[in-house]
Amino acid sequence: MRIAVIQQHAKSDTQNNVSRALSAMENASAEGAQLAVFPELAFTRFYPQFRADDSVSSLAESIPGPTTELFIDKARETEMVTIINLFEQYEGKTYDSSPVIDADGTLLGITRMVHIADYDCFFEKDYYAPGNRGAPVYDTAVGKVGVAICYDRHFPEYMRALAVDGAELVVIPQAGTVGEWPEGLYEAELRVASFQNGYFCALANRVGIEDNMTFSGESFITNPAGEVIAQSPEGDDHILISDLDLNEVQNSHARKLFFRDRRPDIYPLTK
C-alpha cells in the first residue's frame, strides 16, 4: 500500500488551503498513492492558539458538509482513501474531527479527538468537546486504519485499543511546533507505539508560521519494527510518499508475541 502524508501550511484563506490540498491529492495520486492523510485543521488557521472569548460555533462546520464533500469527490476521482481533519459542529457541540473517506468516496465514519489539551497556545478545551465515538478502526480499500488525533497519541491505552481492534495503520493528524518537546520525542513515542502494537504509524504535521506558533512539519512514518522509514523536512510543504507492506503487521513481534501473551484479566483498564 502506498501512502501520501501531505504536510502543508495554512493561510487565512480557507479556499486557498483547500485548493492546494486537492491539488496535492492529484499529485500524490499521480505517484501511485492509495491513501492520503492531512494534518490537524489543515484547511483553517489553528484556532486554539488563542483563548476563545465567546462562542466558537461559527468557526466550525458540519460533517458531511461543504469541505468534506470536496474531498469525497476527490477521493472518488483519485481512488484514494482520504483522511482529513476539521473543526466539526454537531448537535450544539464542537469537536476536533477526522472524517475517513474510502477510495470510492464513501464516508466510512468520523473519529473525534477524545483527550483535550489545555496549555499555552493549545487552549483546546475552549473549542472542543471530548470525542464520544471511541477509537474506531475502519476497514478501508487498502487496509484497516485507525486515527489518533494529535493529543490522543500520548495515551498508550488509546493506541492499544486501536491495535486490539485490528488496526494495521494508525494515522495521526497533528499540530506540533518547533521545540514543543525534546528533539526526537515525537518519533520515539510513535516508534514505541508501532513496536508495542505491531502497526504502521503515519504522522501528518502542520508547517509554517501562524501568529504565535511555528509548526515544524517533519511528518514521518514508522513501521511495526519501531523504525522511522520516511520523514518530511522541517519548515516546508511536502508530500511524503512511502510504500507500506502490511504483511509486516502480522509478522511483527507485537502480533506474534506480545498480543499472545497479554494478560488483560490481570490488569483491566476500567478503573
pLDDT along the chain (271 residues), means of 10: 97 96 98 98 96 92 98 98 98 97 98 97 96 97 98 97 97 93 90 98 97 95 98 97 98 97 87 54
Pairing of strands 107-112, 93-101: antiparallel
Query: In this predicted structure, what is the pLDDT of residue 187?
Result: 96
pLDDT tens per residue across span 24-46: 999 999 999 999 999 999 999 99
Alpha helices in 57-206 (DSSP H): 66-78, 156-164, 185-197
**What pTM, to 2 d.p., does this model score?**
0.96
Q: Give all strands (DSSP E) within 136-222, no chain letters.
A: 137-140, 143-147, 169-174, 200-205, 207-210, 213-216, 220-222
Could you say which of 3.60.10.10, 3.60.110.10, 3.90.1150.10, 1.10.540.10 is the CATH number of the domain covering 2-258?
3.60.110.10
The answer to whether 163 and 194 are in contact (CB under 8 A) is no
Q: What angle do CA 149, 151, 155 make, to 5 degrees?
A: 100
